[in-house]
Amino acid sequence: MRRYQPGTHAGLMLVRLSKPGRLALTGRIVQVLGSADPNDWSGCFVVVTDVKLRVHRAARS
């Protein structure tokens, strides 16, 4: 979060799975993209885990 502050880039997604692998990664990303609108994540730092989706937005001035 310190290195890639929200609002300083087009948007980043970090995926952290307990049992990573190509199928698990693909499945989780498809699930997340199907349940949320990624257009709302412009400039955000998004963290995806097995059970959570956290969207860190730029601080408002």
Confidence of residue 61 (pLDDT cuts 50, 70, 90): low
Domain regions of the chain by residue span: 12-56
The owner of tokens 């990624």 is: 38
| Whole-number average pLDDT of the chain | 87
What is the end-to-end Cα distance of the chain in Å, rounded?
Answer: 18
Residue 54, pLDDT score: 94
CA dist., res. 56 & res. 13, Å (int): 10
Looking only at the bridges linking them, the beta strands covering 53-56 and 12-15 are unpaired
Is the pLDDT at 51 greater than 70? The verdict is yes
CA dist., res. 9 & res. 32, Å (int): 21
Instruction: Label residue 48 exposed, middle or buried (CB < 10 Å: 0-12, 13-18, 19+).
Output: buried
Note the pLDDT tens digit of each residue in 22-44: 999 999 999 999 998 888 888 88
